[in-house]
Structure 1
Amino acid sequence: MTESALLVCPHCNAVNRVPSARLDEGPKCGKCHQLLFDGQPVELTATSFQKHIDKSDIPVMVDFWAPWCGPCKMMAPQFAQAAAQLEPKVRLAKVNTDTEQTLGEKFGIRSIPTLVLFRQGREIARQPGAMNTAEIVRWALSKISR
């Protein structure tokens, strides 16, 4: 990572530049003054998705899910716990494929839940199926350390 990192605010979608050495210190958004990391996955829409993927200097892991999906519902609290453990190394986000069908189609999501890990705007890994917190954390760390 460089001396500073660009981070997209999970609340207002403003792009912030944060010194890399201060990522663990609870940085706040320069626009809305809320925490840039709050230990919760960010809900992304077709409007906010590309900004979070393209403008973030940290990897972004996206859970493609749907509210009717049993395994998705079972994995949701596990994914939230993983967010608390992985931030600020990785931003965790969720995309509801029912309301954001174009994103599901764009990324060829054939089964849910599917985790897709992005770095600097590009997909670097994909994992279909529900996982527990430890598996999510282990999978993400193994992919970003390459």
Structure 2
Amino acid sequence: MAMKARAAKFNHTNNSRIIKSLLLLLAMSTGACSSRDNNISNSIMILNSLSCPPPTFDPPRVEIDDVLKQPAKYDETYITVSGKYNFGFEISAIYPATIATPKPEDGLWLHGVSPSPKSSTASHDVIVTGKYRTLLQGHLAKWPGGICVSSVKENRR
């Protein structure tokens, strides 16, 4: 009888801990998502909970080609790049605007963004700010590096 009582108490204690842990995780993830300005009306992408915090300074504006040529120079630094955002099944990347048929090796993976419901085509001219990382190589590690995105703006030339 004492073992049954102990087992019941153990299960109740474990269940209570699991429920508290799940509630804490839910609260943390909800807070992370809601702290971002996800105004869809003037954005083609939505930052998700995997995005990076914004820098406390104005990062240098660099060309995607420069990052691809010198990845070690930019690794773990905040940068701003412009180009064509391309998304689709297992694709979320930015490429130089001059690339007609994008291949992973020509661009940078974008981590922390989700296309918004406003997106109707698979390519947009954008300006992206975030932390470049050589280890962010996207789906199946096909991209040479990626950006943990802090902000995305439509590039209106």
TM-score range, shorter chain: under 0.3
The structure with more strand, counted as a fraction of residues: 2
Q: Normalising by structure 2, report the TM-score.
A: 0.26
Q: Normalising by structure 1, report the TM-score.
A: 0.27
- Higher Cα Rg, which structure: 2
